[in-house]
Chain A
Amino acid sequence: MLTIAGHTFRSRLFLGTGKFSSAEILKQAIEAAGSEMITVALRRVNLDDPADDIMRVLDRTRYVFLPNTSGARDAREAIRLARLARAAGSGDWLKLEVTPDPRTLLPDPVETLKATEELVKEGFKVLPYINADPILALRLQDVGAAAVMPLGAPIGTNRGLLTRFQIEIIIEQARVPVVVDAGLGAPSHAAEAMEIGADAVLVNTAISVAGDPVRMARAFALAVEAGREAFEAGLGASRREAVASSPLTGLDFIQR
């Protein structure tokens, strides 16, 4: 089982809650995914639509809420969002996200490291969203990150595990769980991340914008389970040349 900051999770599929067409579909997708870790964002209340409240459908006692700091452009803004999230009653969990460039939404490594240091001191369980940089991952675990969340591809792109080589190094070196976050667009991408030893994956867009988000949530759950099982079973080595699966002997009757 997966343990992050002393909390145990049966499911290795974390689910983002953005861009679902309705609260009801979101609720069903969470059930189908079997997720126990759910990300949320913090935004100003729209005073003209006060009833639009996602917390109506999310049972806080059943899931760990992982608020993100999306929208933060530097450490200062991320820290302010983190404190607000804690005041909102989400506990100490935090997906730290510092993305100064709206075009790429790539995370700022310097500000992410600074904010992690500060927030760990304040008692947060910090899961920083990072580019797939093995050195940064080490630096973050050294300052007390509870896990690291390297991206497979930029947020919302559905392009898969483009950073596989670096993620393999991160996994090799990590003393904290590695959660592959962002860019996983198909169950096969999630399975691939799990097969190379990721501890979990976080998926949002690929599920929320699918033709049938509830079935896609189930598809991802199956893929994550399959990928993990394969990792634990131990994949066979890959080779350049063929190795026969059937015996090469006992063919005398046909090979004259």
Chain B
Amino acid sequence: MKIICNGQTKETRDGISLHDFIRESGLNPGTVVAECDGVIIRREDYETCQLKENSMVELIRFVGGG
């Protein structure tokens, strides 16, 4: 299935959890914050949050800043 992550279309497997999607993108679920279809997902819910066809995912993290 296709999802939209950070504005890019990504091909991933059906029913993948947010946690696995973050992992498989090479990221650490412990330092990434996720919004799914405009809703912030709490980190403890990453495993149970299942992505759907055309889900809009935003992955955000801390960067250097003043």
Structural contact, B64 and A20, CB atoms closer than 8 A: yes
The contact string, 1 if C-beta is below 8 Å from chain A, for chain B 12-34, is: 00000000000001111011110
Find out whether the CB atom of A44 lies under 8 angstroms from the CB atom of B62: no
Say whether A47 faces chain B, with CB atoms less than 8 Å apart. Answer: yes
- Residue contact B31 to A87, C-beta cutoff 8 Å: no
Contact A84 B64 (CB under 8 A): no
Residues of B near A45 (CB, < 8 A) are 6, 25, 27, 32, 59-61
- Say yes or no: B65 contacts A39, CB within 8 Å: yes
User: In which size bucket is the chain A interface?
Assistant: 35 or more
Chain B residues closer than 8 Å to A41, beta-carbon distance: 62-66
Per the bound structure, the CA–CA distance linking A205 and B65 in Å amounts to 10
Chain A 25-69: CB-based contact to B (< 8 A → 1; otherwise 0)? 010000000000001111111010011011100000000010110
How distant is B60 from chain A, measured CB to nearest CB, in Å? 5
Chain B's closest residue to A58 (CB) is B62
Residue of A nearest to B5 (CB): A47
* Residue contact A44 to B64, C-beta cutoff 8 Å: no
Q: Is A16 part of the contact surface with B, judged by Cβ < 8 Å?
A: yes
B43, CB-defined interface residue at 8 Å? yes
- Which A residues are closer than 8 A to B by beta carbons? 16-20, 26, 39-45, 47, 50-51, 53-55, 65, 67-68, 70, 83-85, 87-90, 155-156, 182, 202, 204-205
5 residue pairs A–B, Cβ–Cβ below 8 Å: A17-B66, A39-B66, A41-B66, A42-B62, A89-B33
